[in-house]
Amino acid sequence: MERIITIDLFGESYRFETDSNPEKAKKIADFLLEEVTNAENEAAKKMPEVAKITILIIAALNIANQNIELKTEHSDIIKRISDRSSELIEMMDGISL
């Protein structure tokens, strides 16, 4: 079921179709708006006039960075779980009943 979500950026409204449920789509839109606001505030400290596209690129890079960090952490956790599971299996195999 397709739904329409509206995102207000830089005083303009943008409408997108989404297949996500409304709550998830709103969380995603809110996250994007938060990242854009953070990027805009940080950029404003360094340059008084910042192009909208620059702010969007900064926000996108920040989101991409968070995504890469999460993927790395996830991979590390999976590796540790796998290693520990192997150790436990070896220990259990060594126990005679």
CA distance 15 to 94: 61
Query: pLDDT at position 72, please?
Result: 95
The structure's pTM equals 0.73
Q: Hey, is 48 helix, strand or coil? A: coil
Answer whether 39's CB lies under 8 Å from 58's CB.
yes
**Highest mean pLDDT (candidates 10-19, 26-35, 60-69, 86-95):** 60-69
pLDDT at 18 over 90: no
Checking if the pLDDT of 1 tops 80, the result is: no
DSSP secondary-structure letter at 10? T
Q: Would you say 3 and 20 are in contact if contact means Cβ atoms under 8 Å apart?
A: yes
The per-residue pLDDT for range 20-49, each reduced to its tens digit, is: 888 888 899 999 999 999 999 988 888 878
pLDDT in tens, 60-77: 999 999 999 999 999 999
Instruction: Output DSSP code: residue 17.
Output: E
The mean pLDDT value for 5-20 works out to 89
